[in-house]
Amino acid sequence: METQSIKFERYQSYDILLGNNVINQIVAKLSRMGFCKHCAVLTNELVAKWYLEPVLAELRSKGFEVFSIILPDGEEQKSLQTVQKIYQDLQKAGLARNSPLVTLGGGVIGDIGGFCAATWLRGIPFVQLPTTLLSMVDSSIGGKVGVNLPNAKNYIGSFYQPSLVGIDVAVLRTLPLTQISYGLVEAIKHGLIADPAYFKFITKSRGEIKTKEPALMQRLIRRSLNIKKMVVEKDELDKGNRAILNFGHTFGHGLEILGEYRRYHHGEAVSLGMLMTLCLSKKLGKLKEDYFEQLNELLVDFSLPVKLPVEYSALALYDSITSDKKRQKESIKFVIPITLGSVELMDIPLHDLPDLLVDILGMMK
């Protein structure tokens, strides 16, 4: 098992453990961290079927008394109603200030569990055990936790860092290929914003990624973690350069809103969003290395969408993009690709956006 440490000035620093079949070592590390030996595990029904018992058995073998909270599956669970239900369960469990909440699942469980940990008794320790590729390469580190309002994604939240992140790639064996593709979009993004060799590595290793070969997946996750860690350590509160992690997300969020969160999964929307942003960069005359075809071909190979629906108008897209919480009053921030591996932040005035969108739609249909 390998260990990386993520170091913050303002927040607690923590270790990220990564390996194959390492749940026993992850729990052993947790048991040495000095927390109260009374903890809760938050998961969902689907993940519980595969992995809850082995995790509970490990925790009990290390002397933990464990209370499980099992939610239904799905993004709809990221709501204040579920938070309320979890608080009631935490009260029933009698979780004390130094009792950890362990989140076992994908980004939904990590985000909602982290938010509950941040607010229960004004903050209890929490441990992330991510089980999807997306949560391993992205959502489990960086400390963004939160829930949705109806039709307003991640509007309620906080920065709250876990005490430990334990990634066991063995759990990927049950993850469907569609979910691997969605997580891979974030890994591809990491390559495109910061590491061209990583993008080439993903392109070359696509066959092994599809078979979820554990050593290869571990390599992939390590490289993504290194990039995300490097970016968030320098900008803990998302006030500056951390915005580069939003590459493809400004258009992506707009597409999610336009499709009422049903038409596109986040990964699919970001897949289209990255291609749209490449078109935007071309239009603005900023793109110095055109890798549209390479990216397009890789996304197609992972069954990700690369064409916009013909019925989507520039006006509808404008409305959905400008309703995103990241817009400012008169402009919207975009992460503009320059070459493979480098990007720039750019504020685009809202009044320039409609014409640009007409051109982008023309280039993407």
Ligand X SMILES: NC(=O)c1ccc[n+]([C@@H]2O[C@H](COP(=O)([O-])OP(=O)(O)OC[C@H]3O[C@@H](n4cnc5c(N)ncnc54)[C@H](O)[C@@H]3O)[C@@H](O)[C@H]2O)c1
Burial class (CB in 10 A: 0-12, 13-18, 19+), 263: middle
Report CA-CA distances (Å) from 218 to 174, 215, 228: 16, 5, 15
Using the rule CB under 6 A, is 189 a contact of ligand X?
A: no
Minimal distance, residue 16 CB to ligand X, in Å: 14
The three-state (H, E, C) secondary structure of 198-251, written as one string: HHHHHHHCHHHHHHCCHHHHHHHHHHHHHHHHHHHHHCCCCCCHHHHHHCCHHH
Question: Helices 266-283 and 353-364: crossing angle, nearest 10°?
Answer: 110
Which of residues 31 and 154 has its CB atom nearest to ligand X in the complex?
154
H/E stretch holding 184 reads helix 177-194
Using the rule CB under 6 A, is 182 a contact of ligand X?
A: yes
Question: What are the backbone dihedrals phi and psi of residue 41, each rounded to the nearest 5 degrees, phi first?
Answer: -115, 125
Using the rule CB under 6 A, is 47 a contact of ligand X?
A: yes
Minimal distance, residue 346 CB to ligand X, in Å: 22
Using the rule CB under 6 A, is 131 a contact of ligand X?
A: yes
The residue within the footprint of ligand X, chosen from 103, 179, 281, 320 (CB under 6 A), is 179
DSSP state of 52: I
Minimal distance, residue 191 CB to ligand X, in Å: 17
Positions 60 through 79 that interact with ligand X (CB under 6 A) = 73, 75, 78
Which of residues 78 and 223 has its CB atom nearest to ligand X in the complex?
78
Number of residues that bind ligand X (CB under 6 A): 28
Burial class (CB in 10 A: 0-12, 13-18, 19+), 245: buried
The residue within the footprint of ligand X, chosen from 40, 95, 108, 287 (CB under 6 A), is 108
The residue within the footprint of ligand X, chosen from 194, 266, 268, 276 (CB under 6 A), is 266
Residue 319 structure tokens: 């409305």
Stretch of 10-18, 175-183, 219-227, 282-290 contacting ligand X, by CB under 6 A: 175-183
Using Cβ positions, the residue closest to ligand X within the complex turns out to be 107
Give the pairing of strands 126-130 and 101-105: parallel
Using the rule CB under 6 A, is 111 a contact of ligand X?
A: yes
Using the rule CB under 6 A, is 154 a contact of ligand X?
A: yes
Interface residue list for ligand X (CB under 6 A): 44, 46-47, 50, 73, 75, 78, 105-109, 111, 131-132, 134-135, 138-139, 142, 144, 154, 171, 174-175, 179, 182, 266
